[in-house]
Structure 1
Amino acid sequence: MSAGFRAFFATFFLALSTLATVPASAGTLQCAPFARQVSGIDLHGNANTWWGQAEGRYDRGHEPRVGSVLAFASSRSMPVGHVAMVSKVVSGREVLLTHANWSYRGGIERDVRAIDVSPNNDWTDVRVWYGPTGGLGLRSNPAKGFIYASAPKAADAAPVQIASADATGAAALRAAF
């Protein structure tokens, strides 16, 4: 084996062993990028801005639907809010959520229970399963509602006018729908 070849392998293995001992420096998984990835709803920024950003871009409402994102409001315990995707609708007042960074820093939780405890049954106050207690959290959390993956429906457009000729060759307009 040539000296150059040995030097290459020595450098290669030194670099490989250095990589193996350096800890990863990736950041903690946050709820907003995770919700964007699993729902397809293309909003960015802190979770507490999603509800406002969705206006005019996505349908919003207070009925849970699979694939929608439940947008939590800011609160003292959640200053930047939270977002979670609905993975299953159990009933009008219970869903299963898939989300990140709730019970455990950077952790992903799939199909965890959330219930609507709002007095008007509108999902503005929600209790969510919390890993450290093994049950629903001790406090409820304020929410704005659901952001649906579909874009808002366009207003009915005016009928399209189509020109056509009659037997005499005269042009006429008729509405086509």
Structure 2
Amino acid sequence: MTVAPAQARYLQCVPFAREVSGIEIRGNANTWWGQAAGRYERGHVPVEGAVMAFKATRGMPIGHVAMVSRVVSDREVLLTHANWSRRGGIERDVRAIDVSPAGDWSAVRVWYAGNGDLGTSSYPLAGFIYPDKAPVPDTEAPLAPMTIATTAAAPVAGALPVVGD
């Protein structure tokens, strides 16, 4: 018996975040942070167009990703994301606030339609994935300096003289 791959019956956060941000990462949301290493710049400061990468929790075992549509202040952003308040639903420009004690965007509360306000839960963040690609390291080895070997006994015909010998 052949089992067909599971297909989503509603819009997921990952394909939506990929579409609106242009960040080409696939797989569950909780893998985006690790997959972005070396491919995209990452950090802990919100920037418009960046993807906010949520860590997995017991209530959210595959994590979540959302695009920052606007930075309001150093502790508040607006998010555009899918599959948060309503299964498969898209929400644009909803409020998220940094609730981390250090103000480092390690934990957030996010607007939830059921409350018509911020949700009551705090969610841990891995950080922000920026839409600019990470610089690609130069993988070509530099050319070794060319040396000309000579022997005092028999100079090679047509060889360049070595200065300083």
Q: What TM-score results when the alignment is normalised by the length of structure 1? A: 0.72
Offset of 1:153 from its aligned partner?
Answer: 2.8
Offset of 1:32 from its aligned partner?
Answer: 0.3
- Select which of 86, 108, 123 maps to 2:68: 86
Instruction: Say whether the 8 Å CA contact 1:122–1:145 is kept in structure 2.
Output: no
State the partner residue of 2:132.
Answer: 150
Calculate percent identity across the aligned residue pairs: 66
Offset of 1:154 from its aligned partner?
Answer: 4.4
Once the two structures are superposed, the pairs formed by residues 62-101 of structure 1 within 5 Å of their partners are 62-101=44-83
Is 2:113 the partner of 1:131? yes
Deviation digits for residues 32-57 of structure 1, max 9, x if unmatched?
Answer: 00000000000001000000000000
Once the two structures are superposed, the pairs formed by residues 103-118 of structure 1 within 5 Å of their partners are 103-118=85-100
Q: What TM-score results when the alignment is normalised by the length of structure 2? A: 0.77
Instruction: Say whether the 8 Å CA contact 1:96–1:113 is kept in structure 2.
Output: yes
Q: Which runs of 5+ in 1 are unaligned?
A: 1-24, 162-177
> What is the DSSP-based 3-state SS (H/G/I as helix, E as strand, rest coil) of the residue aligned with 1:133?
coil
- Select which of 55, 58, 61 maps to 2:40: 58
Is 2:24 the partner of 1:42? yes
**Which is bigger in relative contact order (C-alpha 8 A, separation at least 6)?**
2
Once the two structures are superposed, the pairs formed by residues 23-34 of structure 1 within 5 Å of their partners are 27-34=9-16
Distance in 1 (alpha carbons) for counterparts of 2:8 and 2:58: 27
The residue type equivalent to 2:24 in the other structure is: D
> What is the DSSP-based 3-state SS (H/G/I as helix, E as strand, rest coil) of the residue aligned with 2:131?
coil
Once the two structures are superposed, the pairs formed by residues 159-170 of structure 1 within 5 Å of their partners are none
Q: Which runs of 5+ in 2 are unaligned?
A: 1-6, 144-165
Deviation digits for residues 113-160 of structure 1, max 9, x if unmatched?
Answer: 000011121111000000001000001001111000001134689xx9
State the partner residue of 1:140.
Answer: 122
State the partner residue of 1:6.
Answer: none
The residue type equivalent to 2:111 in the other structure is: W
The answer to which structure has the higher helix fraction is 1
User: What RMSD over aligned residues (CA atoms) do the two structures have, in Å?
Assistant: 2.1
Runs of 4+ in 1 over 3 A off after TM superposition: 154-157
How many residue pairs end up in the alignment?
136
Offset of 1:111 from its aligned partner?
Answer: 0.1
